[in-house]
Structure 1
Amino acid sequence: MQSKKWWGFIKDPVFGYIHFTPEEKNVIDTKTFQRLIRIRQLAGAEYVYPGANHTRFEHSIGVMYIAGELAKNLECMSAEEINEIRLAGLLHDIGHGAFSHIFETVLHKFFKINHEDMTRKLIREGELKDIIKDAGYEPEKISRLAIGQLKEKNKEYLDQILRSTVDADKMDYIVRDSYHTGAGYSADVWRLIYTMEAVNNKLSVSSTAIYTLEAFLLARVESFKSIYFHKTARAAQIMIGKALVNAYEENPFFSPNNLDEYIELNDYTVWSILKNSKRAAKIIDDLEHRRLLKSVYENIVITKEKLASRIFSKEQVKTSIEREIAVEAGVSEDDVLIDSPLVPSVPYASSSKDERFEVPIFDKKTSNLLESGGETSKIIEAMKGYLNVLRVYTTAENREKVRKAALKILSSEPYELKIAT
């Protein structure tokens, strides 16, 4: 069990002084965790927001802190559970590869896994395993709690602290990303934390904080539209993703089964690999000269279904449509790219296929659960769908030809039906 004494503190620009225990320090000081200093939280966004150079390191520290504060506010949480949730929060993003979510392109394409699979693997099999054991905890349990998949009976709230519509991860990144980008979208996470309770085993928000909850969810929506799905940031991210795939096809530079190899991957080491890859070097040169792809077609649909993400998540479908547009435009297939990010386009709902849009609201006077947030607030009800953003990108010189081709093809059957219904 972790000691109750703090070893020291970190000065965080967002939340101020964050204390940590000797056991948490042992985790932070590992090579596995220190690599997060060299993995940017919003890789690609710096082409739009120069201040967006913060990393997974400070985000992970922030999630540890928020998760711990949220847990301490729940009367049902034991001291040991609070320590476990802090540790899980600290490690929740440990599996990210270089350039954060962009690296999912390689993990998914070549291995059919994602960073959460790597998170569990690094906690259970890497150097962290013994450190967690020495602290008195079970690596297997921490690995499942870190991705919100503990699934302990009658304790849904344990998973929901790190994986739900209103969780510690989102509370940190909405505030932190807004701070570093200067986008200006923030939320009063402390009022949310101090009004949350575990009711009927579910993490629930007090009816007295409805307006705060609405503001939080709206801030998330605006963050997705202005930061995460900004067309220029996405252009840079698409280019990095393509460079990663090209370089890996040319020379596989890591295996997820080799953890020592995996933890050597960060934004700097992989950028060097890409620069020295024959198939990726041109893309990197374009990025270094800010010759970015241009968005020539955009279709934004708010719906109850995962339209764009469902249609274009299949590589063969996306490739087929890209080829069709390229032929119509008379350009190379390599010059047409459909934006279908692996991070689901769901700011109006959840960030995971396993995470339902659910915001239980309880009556502060009676401690009874009311209907779901959507029944209590018209604003929350309106956010129960999916924001699908479909874009087509091409090079600057092909902009007009591809724009016309994309408009012709994607406005005709069957694509119009698939996109707009």
Structure 2
Amino acid sequence: MEYATQKLAEEKVFKDPVHRYIHVQDQLIWDLIATKEFQRLRRIKQLGTTYLVFHGAEHSRFSHSLGVYEIVRRMVDDVFVNRPEWDKSERLVALCAGLLHDLGHGPFSHAFEHVFDLDHEQFTRRIILGNTEVNEVLSRVSDQFPQKVSEVIAKTYPNKQVVSLISSQIDADRMDYLQRDAYFTGVSYGHFDMERILRVMRPQPDQIVIKSTGMHAIEDYIMSRYQMYWQVYFHPVSRSAEVILKKTLERAKFLYKDGYDFKISIDHFTSFFEGNVKLADYIALDESIIMAYFQFWTKEEDAILRDLSTRFLNRKLFKFTDVDPAKDWEKLVQLEKLFDEAGLDPNYYLVMDSSSDLPYDFYRPGEEGERVPIYLQLPNKDLSELSRSSDIVDAISGKRRTDHKLYYPKDLLDVNNPIHERIIAILDA
């Protein structure tokens, strides 16, 4: 029997709080889950620093990746099966892309990427195509199969229908993380009727469309996503923790380049600090190692590194105030000077952080980062872009919301210090 069609002697299941059960029947999927690169995702939190705000948010990229796989499996095995518009030969590449789409996430994900100028999707492709256990398993299907999976994740795969299952404005990735993150944070915003959405999905050439009778379920999904971003993902306290995390790593990087003598060897970070990240070093780094180094750094001689790492470990976070960079730039310049005079390095203790989201976008041909819109299939089989049929979606289409906050250590400001008093007056104003 060819490896691509080989089934397990008995179906395996993972008990899951979101999907109840995750079903694995293919030997290939079972073998991919067992690879060390995929098991590493157990040691990467799905929501980064959010656990410092919503204490239940300890779930991992591993559980999310299994969830995405399960949604894709339901699409291709239940919803699309026997439909002439779906090419069943694409089944396996779709399942693998769903399972492996987050393989390249680093510890604390986006904050980590920002500090070291990395791209998790690029590392996902490097793991899939490199000298790894994942590549070895995928190559059992064919020599070309790892490249096919990589192309789906890179959104360059010729069949855009397969790409849209993993990456579009309504895809398996979003449908899992919204529900999973809502469950583990304990909020109600991320819940929507996924069963209904799956029932009304229809494969079409190069895309997936939604029967018009399912429009209200799609509206609910889009509003759930909007609420989750502003109530959970962009929560200002979580962003404060992320700011301190980034500044701790930036300080360590600065000290390394400045020739600082760390008490504990920083071998895990060397290639990151030097900007030449080896794949083996990337795979070897996870959040448990980052936290161990933060523990070490609380004993360092450098006061800034010691303070920042202690703050992160013990949740002594920065306070924040709303700011408008366009209107408040003179105050920001003044604050930087005052922080400098007060002996508080503004590079680490006065940080502006911005969050921005576009909840739904219509078609903008030729634009960078172009988003394929959601199409409704009308009773006569014509297609209508969602915002043309939905007043709710039309109200938020193409409207980007941005929020700027200024973070600072309020606990270090003393009202009896004249310089600190001036800083407090500006911040309070």
TM range (shorter): 0.7 to 0.9
Is 1:123 paired with 2:122? no
> In the alignment, which of 340, 358, 361 is matched to residue 346 of structure 1?
358
> In the alignment, which of 105, 115, 119 is matched to residue 96 of structure 1?
105
Aligned partner of 2:281 in structure 1 is: 261
Aligned partner of 1:139 in structure 2 is: 146
Is 1:13 paired with 2:24? no
Q: 1:292 to 1:196 in 2, by over 3 A?
A: same
Cα distance in 1 for partners of 2:428, 2:210 equals 44
| CA apart distance, 1:359 | 1.2
Q: How does 1:10-409 map to 2 (within 5 A)?
A: 10-20=14-24, 21-72=26-77, 73-74=79-80, 75=83, 76-108=85-117, 113-127=118-132, 128-136=134-142, 138-147=145-154, 149-152=155-158, 155-185=159-189, 186-251=191-256, 252-255=269-272, 257-277=277-297, 278=300, 280-298=305-323, 324-327=334-337, 331=342, 332=344, 333=346, 334-340=348-354, 345-349=357-361, 354-356=369-371, 358-363=373-378, 365-370=379-384, 372-384=385-397, 385-397=399-411, 398=413, 405=426
Cα distance in 2 for partners of 1:402, 1:175 equals 42
Q: 1:56 to 1:402 in 2, by over 3 A?
A: farther
Cα distance in 1 for partners of 2:36, 2:428 equals 49
Tell me the amino acid that sits aligned with residue 309 of structure 2.
I
Structure-2-length-normalised TM-score: 0.81
Identity, % of aligned positions: 27
Q: Do the aligned partners of 1:243 and 1:284 also contact (CA within 8 Å) in 2?
A: yes
Q: Do the aligned partners of 1:349 and 1:356 also contact (CA within 8 Å) in 2?
A: yes
Q: 1:257 to 1:326 in 2, by over 3 A?
A: closer
Cα distance in 1 for partners of 2:421, 2:164 equals 47
Aligned partner of 2:262 in structure 1 is: none
Cα distance in 1 for partners of 2:238, 2:295 equals 20
Cα distance in 2 for partners of 1:2, 1:100 equals 34
Instruction: Kindly report the root-mean-square deviation, in angstroms, between the aligned alpha carbons of the 2 structures.
Output: 2.7
Q: Do the aligned partners of 1:92 and 1:146 also contact (CA within 8 Å) in 2?
A: yes
Cα distance in 1 for partners of 2:290, 2:236 equals 24
Structure 2: gaps spanning 5 or more residues: 257-268, 414-419
Q: Do the aligned partners of 1:348 and 1:387 also contact (CA within 8 Å) in 2?
A: no
Cα distance in 2 for partners of 1:407, 1:383 equals 33
Q: 1:401 to 1:116 in 2, by over 3 A?
A: farther
Tell me the amino acid that sits aligned with residue 288 of structure 2.
Y
Cα distance in 1 for partners of 2:17, 2:123 equals 29
Q: 1:257 to 1:288 in 2, by over 3 A?
A: closer
| CA apart distance, 1:400 | 8.0
Q: Give the match's secondary structure for 2:357.
A: coil
Q: 1:25 to 1:250 in 2, by over 3 A?
A: farther
Structure-1-length-normalised TM-score: 0.83
Q: 1:200 to 1:130 in 2, by over 3 A?
A: closer
Aligned residues: 379
Structure 1: gaps spanning 5 or more residues: 300-307, 312-317, 409-421
Q: Do the aligned partners of 1:126 and 1:259 also contact (CA within 8 Å) in 2?
A: no
Q: 1:60 to 1:45 in 2, by over 3 A?
A: same
Tell me the amino acid that sits aligned with residue 178 of structure 1.
A
Aligned partner of 1:315 in structure 2 is: none
Q: Give the match's secondary structure for 1:340.
A: strand
Select between 94-103 and 2-11 the one with higher mean Cα deviation: 2-11
